[in-house]
Amino acid sequence: MIRRRSLLALAGLGGAAALLPTGPAQAAQASQPAQTARPRTIDLPAPTTGRPVGTTTLHLVDRDRPDPFVPAAGPRELMVQLWYPARAAAGHPRAPYTTPRVAAAIDQRVSLDPGTIAALRSTARTDAPALPGPLPLLLLGHGRTGLRSNCTALAEELAAHGYLVASVDHTYDSLAVEFPDGRLVRTVLEDEPADLEAAERREIAARVADLRFVTTELTERQDRFRVDGSRIGVLGHSMGGSAAAETMRLDERFRIGLNLDGGLFGSPVPDLGLDRPFLLLTSLADHETWQRWRSHQHAWGRQLRTLGAGHLSFTDLPHAALPGNLPGHIPADNYAALLGTIAPARATELTRAYTRAFADHFLRGRPAPLLDGPSPRFPEVELRWSRD
């Protein structure tokens, strides 16, 4: 049923395909009518503070590096979405969740009713004026064949609390990337590579290079956004979490790292550990790569498990799953593995609270008792392991 060696090798929204029916059965299920009428809009949870959030996209080209997946394509091209604290939102439209063509690609890949992802609405305002002053920077990575929009609700929360968040579409890994000239570039990754470990090493190396390049671009530009180079972190979901760990290992600019339910694949981090703070937020109780990392971690570390969560509970997908009739398209046990039993709004609340506590503690020097033990506010979260 789960064809890869672990659920944690799956990606963000795109990774659900490994648990979906294939061929005629999938087509038959996709043709079934939705059990309930899909709402015209699906609002993601607004940030927990009323401060306005802006967003914009950047098209970046790394002319010193040929594309690692399709060398014939020329220099590595990336689309990056930024979320940031804004001075005001008046006069700026609410940003779309993604482009219409990418939204349709997600619907098809994940077996949602057509139009579901297009109905998602975020809070951020397009190109709203940014607050002045240097901002701490957080790089955000998607899962294998995921997309930069996968964790929009989390990104908006962090931006509302004063962070510049940069989410990277890893071209040819990401399910679909639309460039400003209208090109739609789709993933070239195989669902089941013949040499899985070699593929993971290659994919992680490409992601790490992308994240380091984007960080350099943002810290050296210092035009529209001023980045505080002494306060930079990296986080990601699934394979993006493994890339976050490897990025920290190779680049001392990153002071903290956070992994949202990702196996530590494609990297020597499990056997070397890290010398800076690293947090695991997980749905599973344990995984062999986490066990090895815990044995070698040299600095502050935590594993916090959310009871009732599924692998995709740390993304935006739970908010679209029921409106998009995902339970009508995939088997119940697969649905549980992907989304668990926790309510979507609660899953988002927990992920936001622990991510922000971690970033605030290590990048802003604020107390974070939430990270040190059980909390009556969040009884679903258990402390699995800690090192100070």
Residuewise pLDDT in 10s, the chain (388 residues): 334 444 565 544 545 555 544 433 343 333 344 444 556 899 999 999 989 999 999 999 999 999 999 999 999 999 999 999 999 999 999 999 999 999 999 999 999 999 999 999 999 999 999 998 899 999 999 999 999 999 999 999 999 999 999 999 999 999 999 999 999 999 999 999 999 999 999 999 999 999 999 999 999 987 889 999 999 999 999 999 999 999 999 999 999 999 999 999 999 999 999 999 999 999 999 999 999 999 999 999 999 999 999 999 999 999 999 999 999 999 999 999 999 999 999 999 999 999 999 999 999 999 999 999 999 999 999 999 999 9
- Rounded CA-CA distance 178/150 in Å is 15
Q: Return the beta strands (E) in the chain as ranges.
A: 42-43, 53-66, 75-85, 94-96, 120-126, 135-141, 164-169, 176-178, 184-186, 227-237, 256-260, 278-282, 301-306, 381-387
Q: For position 32, what pLDDT does the model report?
A: 41
In this structure, how many other beta carbons lie within 10 angstroms of the beta carbon of residue 40? 9
In sequence order, which residues have a C-beta less than 8 Å from that of residue 155 and are 6 or more positions away? Answer: 81, 83, 140, 165, 167
Which domains are seen in the chain, by residue range? 7-387 (3.40.50.1820)
| Cβ contact 282:303 at 8 Å | yes
User: Up-side HSE of residue 13: CA atoms within 13 Å toward CB?
Assistant: 34
Tell me, rounded to whole angstroms, the distance of Cα 371 from its chain centroid.
21
In sequence order, which residues have a C-beta less than 8 Å from that of residue 100 and are 6 or more positions away? Answer: 118
Tell me the two tokens of residue 57. Answer: 């996209």
- Rounded CA-CA distance 174/14 in Å is 8
Q: For position 27, what pLDDT does the model report?
A: 36
- Rounded CA-CA distance 359/255 in Å is 10
| Whole-number CA gyration radius for the chain | 19
pTM tops 0.75, yes or no: yes
Q: For position 6, what pLDDT does the model report?
A: 47
Tell me, rounded to whole angstroms, the distance of Cα 150 from its chain centroid.
5
Tell me the two tokens of residue 66. Answer: 């040929």
Tell me, rounded to whole angstroms, the distance of Cα 60 from its chain centroid.
19
Q: Across-strand partners of 61?
A: 77
